[in-house]
């Protein structure tokens, strides 16, 4: 009997040791979420004529978020568009929610994208192209225009302005979408131009739970992988969440990124579970904000979930060892995109529509375009068939 008692005692001690070890191991697992460093409200503004833009990235408040250079939420009316203009050194990603856009370039590429569709264009060593809403193509044929501009939206065409027409962002017929600029590494800035066009039904969806749908535009999440090839490692995710949902998005530890809110309300990050929906101070500060201009708000309580609302870019923390982002909705549904990428950590120099590593390289790009050489050989004679006749962006 004494031997049995001693054996039982040792078994109990062994089990206790295992429990203690298990508890210790559990507490070392990193359960912290990425948090929001700051939010940037993108105010609405007219660009050129015929387009309205909300620019959250590529502004004074946030010049870039390596590897991302610019994000525009845009609306283009039937008298607007983006006629012939050049690019070098990066990629443009156009994703539509409403309307149709035709595109054409000097290498003979043509196509049309519609609601839910994607165009991922690699400018590489050089491209001259045109992007026009389908409604504008008919409206502008036979008209002539010359314009000097410094950006895509400024290159946005002015084919005349009807003062009785609503602003594009208020026009239910206007083409609505996002355009993202993704930087290319120095070794890829001289690659040949390329296109990847995907229809809405070719873009896979993940449904990690009821009430949460993720359209996987680029990258991989929840076991679903996009077909898009990204020279710069990138994740582009379109989230739609119903009310009262909680989700977690994996974030590679060496990626940076941000969230852009399209509609509704959601809470992001924070180390504490649950959302305080009765923050009177927060509501008072929001009412005092001037929504006619861009502004940034630094997050002073990173341990708390941060509220995201329409037209805000929420910049994520980086290099903090975390590998996921906590997301929660309360009394509203939410629609937003999450953009994550591996920083290139290279110098960024932008001159008009050319993005290179040095000032000398951007000056060379401008000279190459003007002289139709080193990738721009076809630029001299080419004119798109869908832009106003006689149009040429002047540099």
- Known binding-site positions for Fe cation: 85, 87, 129, 131
Q: What is the DSSP letter of 21?
A: H
DSSP result, 127-196 = EEEEEEEHHHHHHHTT----EE-SSHHHHS--S---TTSPPGGG-TTSEEEEEEEEE--TTTTTSPPEEE
DSSP lists the bridge partners of residue 130 as 104
Q: What is the DSSP letter of 32?
A: P
Please state, in angstroms and rounded to a whole number, the distance separating the CA atoms of residues 42 and 296. Answer: 9
What lies within 8 Å, CB to CB, of 231 at 6+ separation is 91, 122, 184, 185, 188, 191
Helix (H) or strand (E) holding 104: strand 101-105
273 torsion bin: left (phi>0), alpha (psi -120 to 50), beta (else): beta
**CB-based contact 73:53 (threshold 8 Å):** yes
| Residues 180, 215, 268, 93, Cα dihedral to 10° | 0
DSSP result, 224-291 = EE-S---SS-EEEEEEEE-SS-EEEEE--TT-EEEEEEEEE-EEE--SSSS-----HHHHHHHHTS-T
């Amino acid at each position: 009997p004494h031997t049995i008692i001693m054996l039982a005692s040792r078994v109990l001690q062994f089990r206790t040791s295992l429990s203690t070890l298990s508890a210790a191991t559990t507490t070392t697992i990193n359960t912290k979420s990425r948090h929001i460093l700051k939010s940037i409200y993108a105010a609405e503004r007219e660009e050129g004529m015929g387009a309205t833009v909300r620019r959250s990235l590529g502004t004074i408040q946030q010049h870039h978020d390596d590897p991302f250079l610019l994000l525009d939420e845009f609306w283009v009316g039937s008298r607007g568009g983006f006629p012939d203009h050049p690019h070098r050194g990066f990629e443009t990603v156009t994703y539509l929610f409403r309307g149709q856009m035709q595109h054409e370039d000097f290498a003979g590429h043509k196509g049309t994208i519609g609601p839910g569709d994607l165009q991922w264009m690699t400018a590489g060593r050089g491209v001259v192209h045109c992007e026009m809403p389908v409604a504008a193509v008919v409206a502008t044929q036979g008209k002539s225009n010359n314009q000097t501009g410094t950006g895509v939206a400024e290159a946005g065409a002015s084919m005349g302005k009807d003062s009785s027409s609503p602003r594009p962002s208020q026009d239910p017929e206007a083409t609505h979408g996002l355009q993202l600029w993704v930087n290319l590494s120095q070794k890829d800035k001289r690659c040949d131009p390329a296109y990847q066009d995907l229809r809405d039904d070719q873009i896979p969806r993940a449904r990690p739970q009821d009430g949460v749908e993720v359209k996987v535009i680029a990258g991989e999440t929840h076991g679903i992988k996009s077909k898009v090839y990204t020279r710069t490692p990138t994740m582009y995710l379109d989230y739609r969440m119903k009310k009262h949902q909680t989700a977690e998005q994996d974030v590679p530890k060496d990626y940076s990124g941000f969230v852009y809110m399209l509609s509704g309300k959601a809470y992001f990050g924070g180390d504490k579970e649950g959302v305080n929906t009765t923050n009177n101070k927060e509501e008072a500060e929001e009412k005092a904000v001037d929504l006619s201009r861009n502004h940034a708000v630094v997050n002073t309580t990173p341990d708390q979930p941060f509220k995201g609302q329409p037209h805000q870019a929420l910049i994520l923390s980086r290099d903090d060892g975390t590998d996921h982002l906590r997301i929660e909705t309360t009394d509203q549904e939410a629609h937003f995109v999450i953009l994550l990428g591996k920083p290139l950590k290279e110098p960024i120099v932008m001159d008009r529509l050319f993005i290179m590593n040095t000032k000398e390289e951007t000056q060379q790009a401008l000279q190459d375009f003007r002289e139709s050489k080193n990738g721009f050989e076809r630029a001299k004679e080419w004119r798109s068939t869908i832009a106003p006749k006689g149009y040429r962006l002047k540099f």
